[in-house]
Amino acid sequence: MKKIIIIVISAFIFILIGIGFNNQYSKYRSNKAVQAFKDKAVNLKTVKYNSGFEDLMPLKPILKDKRIVAMGEATHGTKEFFQMKHRMFQFLVEEMGYNVFAMEASQPDCMAVNDYILNGNGDPSKLIKKLGFWTWDTKEVLDMVEWMKEYNKTHEKKIKFYGFDMQSSHTAAQNVIDYLNKVDPSYEARVHEVLSKFNDRTLDYGVKKQLPIDGIKEIKNIFEKNKDEYIKKSSKEQYELYMQNLNVICEFYDMFGTGGSDFQKETKRDKYMAENVKWILDHEGEDSKIMLWAHNLHVSKGIDKFGGSNSDYPEGNVKRMGSNLYDMYGSKMYVIGFEFNKGDLIANYTNKENGQIVNGKCTLKAAKENSAAYIFSKVNPIFFIDFNTCKKNKYAKNILSKPQYCHDIGAVFPGENKSFESEILDLRYDGLIFVDTTSSAEPN
């Protein structure tokens, strides 16, 4: 009996020693990874635009051959993410010849913002309220729109503002009504009822009634048949824009009007967002270069693998917009994810007192040790890393190429314990911008 007790105690001691050794080695690897990231990071002095580009210049050789720079965000309500994307767009425009911006917002609704930055029409504060998402109705987005307008005043090569989403149909339908009244008023009178069925704000993000989608497809056929005549009465650019409005209505209906699971809707949405980005680049010409603004989830070049692990997506994997675009553009695309350590954000959340959904400030404490954010918080307050550069170091590669817990918060705050998802960073992004401490986006 005494011998058994000694064996058990000895085994327990060996286990404790093993655990201690593993913990020590894990800390050793983390410290080595931190040092590797410090050596490879491009430290950024600020997130604010009009701050010069000296600290961003190391990005030039990384992005020199890219036609698409897709920029994500770990939340839909973080001030510093929005500001940094504005600063990056200014850098891409002024230093690298980019001329198109597009964001995760209704493509037809963004036409009015584009008209403002090109021609000064409308009130920008009111225009961004109509972009289809409360998330973009912020001072940071307004500042960027105003900057784009001022830039266009003094430059012959204009920059453009687009959206690539399709979750509503009302503005697209009204746009087509207005265009037909200009180029073919008699035909507009014949199809006005069909278009009016889609000119309905209650359809946003869902369709609960029969809609005459075959009528929209017939209007597209007439557009194609009368293409030369319509271009003559407007312009090639105008014709293509309003034909694309019809395409958006069809995308919207396919997503919301044909039934299907959340998995199927998300798969269609990301596919159509990618196709709309391609349409923008084709429309703007072969010399066009674009910066995209969306959630980390959508810019991801990877595929979200749910399988049977998530009851909302039992059917399988969602191929995201970034992944679809990678199939089209390959090495001509560069994806930048965003991550942070702690701070505030704006989001929808459930009020514990009355159970109501409210919109307001949410706060996250410093990230725990088992997360990528914890590692990055030891590097620098604000920095950029290129994954290909970092992966030359085995300790950095270990962080980037193996599952890590990362912040994943959209328009809804699920609570601190549900704010992280396991991700393999270098399957999702080509690089990353990290901001240690964040604050809430400011409402417009």
Tens of pLDDT, residues 230-253: 999 999 999 999 999 999 999 999
355: left (phi over 0), alpha (psi -120 to 50) or beta: left
Max Cα separation, the chain? 102
> Quick one: which of 276, 260, 257, 295 has its CA closest to 409?
295
What pLDDT score was predicted for residue 8? 54
Token reading at 233: 């009465």
Domain 40-100+291-438 class in CATH: alpha beta
What pLDDT score was predicted for residue 261? 84
> Quick one: which of 364, 398, 382 has its CA closest to 31?
398
The pLDDT tens digits of the residues spanning 388-411 come to: 999 999 999 999 999 999 999 999
In 10 A of CB 365, how many CB atoms?
A: 9
In 10 A of CB 2, how many CB atoms?
A: 6
CA distance 111 to 237: 12
Over residues 148-169, mean pLDDT: 96
Among 62-66, 180-184, 198-202, 279-283, the minimum mean pLDDT is found in 198-202
> By percentage, how much of the chain surpasses pLDDT 70?
91
Whole-prediction pTM: 0.92
370: left (phi over 0), alpha (psi -120 to 50) or beta: alpha
Residue 16: pLDDT band by 50, 70, 90 thresholds? Answer: very low
Domain boundaries, the chain: 40-100+291-438, 170-257
Burial of 139 (0-12, 13-18, 19+ CB in 10 A): middle
What are the C-alpha distances in Å from 359 to residues 351, 435, 443? 9, 23, 11
The H or E element that residue 303 is part of is strand 303-305
Asked if residue 1 has pLDDT above 60, the reply is no
- Contact yes or no for 287/100 (Cβ under 8 A): no
Burial of 11 (0-12, 13-18, 19+ CB in 10 A): exposed
Residue 347: pLDDT band by 50, 70, 90 thresholds? Answer: very high
3-class DSSP state for residue 346?
strand
DSSP-derived pairing of the beta strands 431-438 and 382-386: antiparallel
> Quick one: which of 440, 443, 435 has its CA closest to 362?
440
The pLDDT tens digits of the residues spanning 269-306 come to: 999 999 999 999 999 999 999 999 999 999 999 887 66
Residues paired with 292 in a beta bridge = 70, 102
Cα 130 → chain centroid: 18
What pLDDT score was predicted for residue 206? 83
CA distance 401 to 388: 11
Over residues 91-104, mean pLDDT: 98
What pLDDT score was predicted for residue 19? 46
